[in-house]
Structure 1
Amino acid sequence: MKPRYKVDLPGLQALCGMNYAKLLRLMPARDSRDCWEYSASADGAHKISIRILERAPYTTTVVVEQQGNIHRWLRELSLAVRIYHDAEMAEVVNWAQYRQFLGRYPYPNEQMHQMDEKTQLNRFLSDWLGLCLAQGHSLEYSNFTKLGEGI
């Protein structure tokens, strides 16, 4: 018999903490702005945008979107992310038609969620933000300034 899946809560919290730090680097002057645009390619063809949807005293909800086909397997994408400023964490709260993911799903299930769907989505966000920071270019500056140079 296969052992029951257990949520790695400290690991998930650490992952959400890394997502928080990465998002803040991509959102300079976030108190006075609502949108940031980047490109995943030097020619500006693959746009990545971060838009603030909602501001509250302790949380901010943003949508992170990628437009244009970077690869045949990576199409347009949109993730809603809630940023918890008091806890210094950011987690995916909406992807496609799904909202508010459970920490653990029974398997199999009708929606075909993986047992650790929430962790996988937050790991994907972390990898994606890391790619943006490592190879992305700001669309606000001429010559598509590399993120590490412009921020």
Structure 2
Amino acid sequence: MPTLQRNHWLAAAQPRSFTGLMGLYESNYRRFERLVPELDLPFETAESHGADDTLYLRVVERCRYTTTVHLTYWFGEGEARHPDPDLLLRVYQDAQLAEAISCDARSRYVALAGVPQIDEDVLATQWPRNLLLNKWLAYCLAQGHGFGGANRPRQRPQKA
């Protein structure tokens, strides 16, 4: 590959570039797909028990091509109980992308909070939030978390 062409592709995939961000969204999707193999999410809420913790997933919104989910750990007990990290992510089934759209301000990741308008100035805020999602999904997978098959929540029988 000629040097000029190789440098073009390297520059396009640099962190905090639009192309790099789209690559990060694709990686987020692939990791989320491993965590939740049934991307149609045939449940509203689910828990996954890993090595040392419980991961909670709640479907927030279902649309034709996207699903928005809340993904978090809960720490503490009683009134001290808090989510951390507390991420809202949107899964684009048609484009096969997953984007962290917010990180709750109560989280210790307060610098990543909020849902910004999408424009060129946003790359600086979208990048760290989605890098956090990417690394956290990898951590959850390494801890043995998953929401597919045997881990799928079962409906409780309705009382008559």
Structure possessing the higher radius of gyration over alpha carbons: 2
| 1:92 pairs with 2:107 | no
Identity of matched residues, % = 29
Higher helix share goes to which structure? Answer: 2
Asked if structure 2 preserves the Cα contact closer than 8 Å seen for 1:27 and 1:36, the reply is: no
Q: Quote the offset at 1:137 in angstroms.
A: 4.0
Asked if structure 2 preserves the Cα contact closer than 8 Å seen for 1:7 and 1:104, the reply is: no
The answer for the alignment partner of 2:74 in structure 1 is 67
The answer for the alignment partner of 2:36 in structure 1 is 27
| Unmatched tracts of structure 2, length 5 or more | 1-14, 77-82, 106-112, 152-160
TM-score (norm 1): 0.67
Q: Deviations over 1:26-61 (max 9, x none)?
A: 12334322233223434xxx2111211110001100
Asked if structure 1 preserves the Cα contact closer than 8 Å seen for 2:35 and 2:145, the reply is: no
Q: What is the aligned length?
A: 120
Distance 1:85 1:129 in 2: 17
- Aligned-pair Cα RMSD in Å: 2.8
Distance 1:77 1:34 in 2: 20
The answer for the alignment partner of 2:127 in structure 1 is 119
| 1:104 pairs with 2:121 | yes
TM-score (norm 2): 0.63
